[in-house]
Amino acid sequence: MAKVLVSLKIFPSGVEVDRESLKKKIENQLPEYASIYKFEEEPIAFGLVAVIAHILVPEDKAGGIDMVESNLKKIEEISDLQTLMVRRV
């Protein structure tokens, strides 16, 4: 079964947010069918660093990406997220 790789740029709510703790919360908040492929970090400005989460979702899961995004938006330390890429792997 093929999977879909979704890359999300996640903006923390402030510079004081611990990125390692945020990564753990992101992993724990994912639906059971989704998994983290890897994390990256991207400096934004004035000490703010975005977390790039590469997430694997089964191709046949209808609405799977929407569920991932809505679950992540529930995390208090996330101010916004942006979909960078969606591709089949």
Q: How far apart are CA 66 and CA 69, in angstroms?
A: 5
Using pLDDT thresholds of 50, 70 and 90, give the confidence band for residue 1. Answer: confident
User: Phi and psi at residue 16, in whole multiples of 5°?
Assistant: -80, -5
Q: Classify domain 3-88 at the CATH topology level.
A: Alpha-Beta Plaits (3.30.70)
Q: Which two tokens stand for residue 84?
A: 């960078």
* Half-sphere exposure for 14 (CA within 13 Å, toward CB): 3
pLDDT tens-place string over residues 30-65: 999 999 999 999 999 999 999 999 999 999 988 899
